[in-house]
Amino acid sequence: MKRPIIAGNWKMNNNKAETKELISKIAPLVKDAKCEVVVCVPFTSIETARKAARGTNIQLGAQNVHWAEKGAFTGEISANMLAELKVKYVIVGHSERRQYFGETDETVNLRAKAALNAGMKVIICVGETLEERESGKTAEVVIRQTEKALKDITKQELKRVVIAYEPVWAIGTGKTATAQDADGTIKIIRKVIRKLYGRASGQSIRVQYGGSMNAGNAAELMAMPQIDGGLIGGASLKPEDFAKIVNCAS
């Protein structure tokens, strides 16, 4: 049985004091969760989050990573730096990174490989824009993004990869793909994995839905056979809402 995974993406929110307070509120609400629980916090809050989550079932994640081990990359953070801080998960290829900061399929792949080489797990985000969706290109886009993101990643490394399907048009808009649409697109992603790594890998890889999953729609989405969890944005900043989503996945 695959263990579902709910990961909160805090984005550019919460200073150190707020981080400590939020984790202290979330921890007792999710302590009996059967799913994996992750919070992906800003770089400046990683150390605070690690200490606040100590002794709980909450795992620590970061929101991005650079592909180089070190060098003249002002403002960037390497995988080894994150690993030293006991970060377990890293998000790569989030739609906001692609949309606002020039992320490409190729750099997503480089970042993912760097994190895996440093011993961490990665959450690789894929998803189409509204224009691509309305043009009937959803399948084409997620197939391309998934294939390129996984270039040169081995079958053994794939065990530390989670895919998050997050339609760009649903991020932060309150819009959500229907449960059936999300499930259908994730089925396409699994076909890509089967083609690249074999049937067993296509079944075993965990694929989250990441398009405005919230306390109100989590149960319906999590009931879908292809969906193994959620990459949660705004709702992850609300302890009770986040806990409800975790309970749906449990």
CATH number at residue 209: 3.20.20.70
Distance, in Å, from the CA atom of 39 to the CA atom of 196, rounded to the nearest integer, reads 30
Q: At residue 1, does pLDDT exceed 80?
A: no
Residue 142 lies inside a defined structural domain of this protein: yes
Residue 188 lies inside a defined structural domain of this protein: yes
Region 59-75: mean pLDDT is: 98
The answer to whether the beta carbons of residues 152 and 112 sit under 8 Å apart is: no
Distance, in Å, from the CA atom of 38 to the CA atom of 41, rounded to the nearest integer, reads 10
Residue 27 lies inside a defined structural domain of this protein: no
Q: At residue 165, does pLDDT exceed 80?
A: yes
Give the pLDDT band (50/70/90) at residue 177. Answer: confident
Give the pLDDT band (50/70/90) at residue 176. Answer: confident
Give the pLDDT band (50/70/90) at residue 171. Answer: confident
Distance, in Å, from the CA atom of 87 to the CA atom of 49, rounded to the nearest integer, reads 10
Q: Looking at residue 250, what is its pLDDT?
A: 84
Q: At residue 11, does pLDDT exceed 80?
A: yes
Q: At residue 45, does pLDDT exceed 90?
A: yes
What confidence tens digit (pLDDT) does each residue in 109-157 have? Answer: 999 999 999 999 999 999 999 889 989 999 999 999 999 999 999 999 9
Distance, in Å, from the CA atom of 29 to the CA atom of 249, rounded to the nearest integer, reads 14
Q: Looking at residue 211, what is its pLDDT?
A: 81
Distance, in Å, from the CA atom of 48 to the CA atom of 15, rounded to the nearest integer, reads 9
Give the pLDDT band (50/70/90) at residue 175. Answer: confident
Catalytic residue list: 94, 166
* pTM given for the model: 0.96
Residue 71 lies inside a defined structural domain of this protein: yes
Residue 31 lies inside a defined structural domain of this protein: no
Distance, in Å, from the CA atom of 104 to the CA atom of 107, rounded to the nearest integer, reads 5
Phi-psi region of 54 (alpha: psi -120 to 50; beta: other; left: phi over 0): beta
Question: In sequence order, what are the residues at sequence separation of 6 or more whose Cβ sits closer than 8 angstroms to the Cβ of residue 36?
Answer: 3, 4, 5, 6, 59, 229
Region 32-58: mean pLDDT is: 98
Mean pLDDT score of the chain = 96
Distance, in Å, from the CA atom of 228 to the CA atom of 224, rounded to the nearest integer, reads 9
The alpha carbons of the chain give a radius of gyration, in whole angstroms, of 17
Number of C-beta neighbours around residue 140 at 10 A? 13
Q: Looking at residue 87, what is its pLDDT?
A: 98
Question: In sequence order, what are the residues at sequence separation of 6 or more whose Cβ sits closer than 8 angstroms to the Cβ of residue 24?
Answer: 52
Tokens of 161: 């990869």
Q: Is 215 exposed, middle or buried (0-12, 13-18, 19+ CB in 10 A)?
A: middle
Number of domains in the chain: 1
Q: Looking at residue 218, what is its pLDDT?
A: 95
3-state secondary structure of 9: strand
Residue 88 lies inside a defined structural domain of this protein: yes
Distance, in Å, from the CA atom of 173 to the CA atom of 130, rounded to the nearest integer, reads 12
Residue 183 lies inside a defined structural domain of this protein: yes
Q: How many residues does the chain have?
A: 250
Q: Looking at residue 225, what is its pLDDT?
A: 96
- What's the domain range around 245? 5-13+37-249
Residue 22 lies inside a defined structural domain of this protein: no
